[in-house]
Structure 1
Amino acid sequence: MAFQESGHKTGTSRRGLLLASGAGVLATPLAAPALHAQAAPIKVGVVAVQTGPQAALGTQLRDGWTMGLRHLNNQLGGRAVETLVIDDELRPDVAVTKVRAALERDRVDFVVGVVFSNILQAIMRPVTESGTFLISSNAGPSTFAGRGCSPFFFNTSYNNDQVHSVMGQAAQDLGYRRVFLMTPNYQAGRDAMAGFKSRFQGEVLDEVYVPLTQLDFSAELARIASLRPDAIFTFMPGGLGVNLVRQYRQAGLANIPFLSTFTVDEATLPAQGEAALGFYSGANWAPNMDNAQNTRFVRDFEAAFNYVPATYAAQSYDTAMLLDSAVRKVGGNLGDKNALRAAIAAADFTSVRGGFRFGANQYPVQDFWLCQVVRRPDGKFQTQTVRRVLEANVDPWAAQCRMPARI
């Protein structure tokens, strides 16, 4: 499978060079079963940040999708696939421009991916109002789980509130009574606060929101040291988490339990290293989950990319498997939107998480786990499950969704 980075010509296909949209192309072989010999490749736009300190998260998401296609012989439901990797640059305006180009010029059949909620919020209307299915494999803002739900929108990750509520419940179960909260100041950060507090019944000593670009946490760490909480809860994805974890350990605060979501995970652990050992996270998946599909995914992913997959990769892999099952159900015919929607909603695939199904709002109903950072025998760092905290959990916004029966 050949891969093109944005703006670098590695092949002769005119379609393959998408300089105007800033998209890369993941070109796949055009061979397919005889039944679909005349069918054009299915085009999928994968929105994944590839620029700046958060690029590691987008790389995980992109590589998870790539791994899924490799396991599917570079096909979805028997039809060849052409993937356009769209670097949103973590800028909503840029994301909208590039996604519109993918829809209007490149005529993608699906848009998938998206790491950050502010990017998903920006592209939601352009994609769904074009009659194109949008499948988020990471961002899960509350705004689209309830009254803002759409028949053209599916989510294969979670609603933001759910993952953070895991840590609220864990803090409650562990007997912590005084907790300090800190998240970035955007929708997912606000969802994180709400999710944690939905299950934590103790005292919140302070709620601190920081800019999404913040890298120096000295003022906040001094505040934590002065308050001496029983624990802290934080959601600091990507580069924010790398810096926070290092500075937290350096400040001598590691004796205060560190509860987090998307802060210590396989995307950030290579940079955090020993500074993150023993820190906790909440998740719907971890690399050590004991099922055949997950074992194959983790083994082959590490062999292909030489790093440990995170949830961004696992959920993106599941998205490829989901679409394969849906395209197969409709016999490769993407023209009947109601039939295709029903096929996606059926979720007739084997997830790396084990059990997987969609709720009424087309968000997953799934288990959530308390995880902890460990060092593996090979010296690499990863999270591993400690215990199941929530079982077959339905997100708190699902009841507000009034999903139409037909498109």
Structure 2
Amino acid sequence: MNRRALLGTAAAATFSGAMPGLVRAQAPGIKVGFVATLSGAGAALGTQLRDGWLLAVKHLDGKLGGLPAETLVIDDELKPDVAVTKVRAALERDKVNVVAGLVYSNILQAVFRPVTESGTFLISANAGPSTFAGRGCNPLFFTTSYQNDQVHATMGQVAQDEGYKRVFVMVPNYQAGKDAAAGFKSRFKGEVVDEIYVPLTQLDFSTELAKIAAAKPDAIFTFMPGALGVNLVRQYRQAGLASTPFLSSFTVDESTLPAQGEAALGFYTAANWAPDFPNEVSRRFVRDFEAAYGYVPGTYAAQAYDAAMLVDDGVKQAGGRLADKAALRAAMEKPGFTSVRGNFRMGANHYPVQDFYLCKVAKRPDGKLATETVRKVLSEDTDPYAAECRMR
């Protein structure tokens, strides 16, 4: 199916990375500026995010909350300054009603103030830094993903449950990487034998792998999204380290598995959703996503799907009154849609309260690689910063 067709009765989306808004809505409706990393090392993640959102709009017959929906896709290029310039154009020129998407925390942090200070709702479908979960929470900001620490804390609990005593930690040197290390250590009570922070653009891990081999830990914990994860997994296997348990978050998932191939088999990840979830909403999402795009959806796509459903539900509850910000906020604080995750509700800081799982990379009967649920690790988990939020 042609991706443009997935916009249904919406107007057009800009896929090329050009400035958004080149195609104007033909009738009053809701206009969304959808920000995703669609070029460079993070493009696979942004593609998942975008496609998940567009499938939801397709399932909603091209509408959000009953209003004709126009999605203006913005490529942030993984550059905060570029993201700010393009988002300001979407706000000031195109008059978008909502800004959504956002793969990386540094991009979210860059656009946060321009969006919220303009009085526009900001819906993150992936980035969930601690910055906006506690004292920095905002009535116009919601996320359908998690607070960054939570997924990593899940893997910390796994390491604790497995009885590992010594773990090697390696993450990228930016906010989400710092949150990852903090999250893991919040539940793992053993010894962190080394804690390494690498550049977000690093692709050669030979030095770090030599340190892992020398340290001989019981396991490693890593968070390496996109191309970082592709290279790390391949090099980890090539270095003969696969006998050391590979515990990760956002390193082996549906966005990276096509490039990692069988090098990722048997490696573990923590997640709030996996493609094998048995509920009917998830099954329909996975089935239709694969039919439309030809690849297996991951959490990025699932969270973006839920982001569209959150907006749809909020606008619907508010009677389509986009100018009634108080009504929209109240509706999104108590969402009535059924998530692909099943168990899901919004916390007081506008971050979800949800379950988290241990998953493992496996080969499906059709030969495709995907993550499969091993067991539930945390139930109805609230992020550790929520108590600090004093929502105005």
The partner residue of 1:217 within 205, 212, 235 is: 205
> In the alignment, does 2:257 pair up with 1:260?
no
**TM-score (norm. length: structure 2):** 0.95
Pair 1:115–1:17, CA change in 2 (3 A): closer
8 Å CA contact retained: 1:133, 1:152: yes
8 Å CA contact retained: 2:50, 2:304: yes
Shift of 1:330: 1.2
Shift of 1:22: 2.7
Structure 1 residues 233-272: aligned runs within 5 Å: 233-272=221-260
| Alignment deviations for residues 11-41 of structure 1 (CA, whole Å, 9 cap, x no partner) | xx9x97799963377999x6xxxxxxxx612
**Amino acid across the alignment from 2:20:** A
> In the alignment, does 2:89 pair up with 1:126?
no
1:285 alignment partner in structure 2: 273
1:322 alignment partner in structure 2: 310
Distance 2:373 2:159 in 1: 16
Distance 1:383 1:44 in 2: 31
8 Å CA contact retained: 1:26, 1:82: no
Partner secondary structure for residue 285 of structure 1: coil
> In the alignment, does 2:261 pair up with 1:273?
yes
1:47 alignment partner in structure 2: 35
The partner residue of 2:170 within 176, 179, 182 is: 182
Structure 1 residues 88-103: aligned runs within 5 Å: 88-103=76-91
The partner residue of 1:82 within 66, 70, 73 is: 70
Tell me whether 270-279 or 18-27 shows the greater mean CA deviation: 18-27
Partner secondary structure for residue 198 of structure 1: helix
Structure 1 residue runs of 5 or longer lacking an equivalent are 5-12, 31-38
**Amino acid across the alignment from 1:376:** R
1:163 alignment partner in structure 2: 151
Shift of 1:74: 0.6
The partner residue of 1:192 within 146, 164, 180 is: 180
- Superposed CA RMSD in Å reads 1.8
8 Å CA contact retained: 1:111, 1:133: yes
1:22 alignment partner in structure 2: 19
Shift of 1:54: 1.0
**Amino acid across the alignment from 2:65:** G
Structure 1 residues 292-331: aligned runs within 5 Å: 292-331=280-319
2:8 alignment partner in structure 1: none
**Amino acid across the alignment from 2:101:** G
**Amino acid across the alignment from 1:258:** F
Structure 2 residue runs of 5 or longer lacking an equivalent are 5-10
Pair 1:232–1:24, CA change in 2 (3 A): farther
8 Å CA contact retained: 1:48, 1:58: yes
Partner secondary structure for residue 361 of structure 1: coil
The partner residue of 1:373 within 361, 369, 378 is: 361
Structure 1 residues 3-18: aligned runs within 5 Å: none
Tell me whether 326-335 or 285-294 shows the greater mean CA deviation: 326-335
The partner residue of 2:331 within 326, 334, 343 is: 343
**TM-score (norm. length: structure 1):** 0.92
8 Å CA contact retained: 2:268, 2:359: yes
Partner secondary structure for residue 45 of structure 1: strand
Pair 1:240–1:17, CA change in 2 (3 A): closer
Distance 1:26 1:69 in 2: 17
1:142 alignment partner in structure 2: 130
**Amino acid across the alignment from 1:22:** M
Pair 1:81–1:247, CA change in 2 (3 A): same
Q: Aligned residue pairs: how many?
A: 386
1:9 alignment partner in structure 2: none
Distance 1:243 1:16 in 2: 32
8 Å CA contact retained: 1:3, 1:27: no
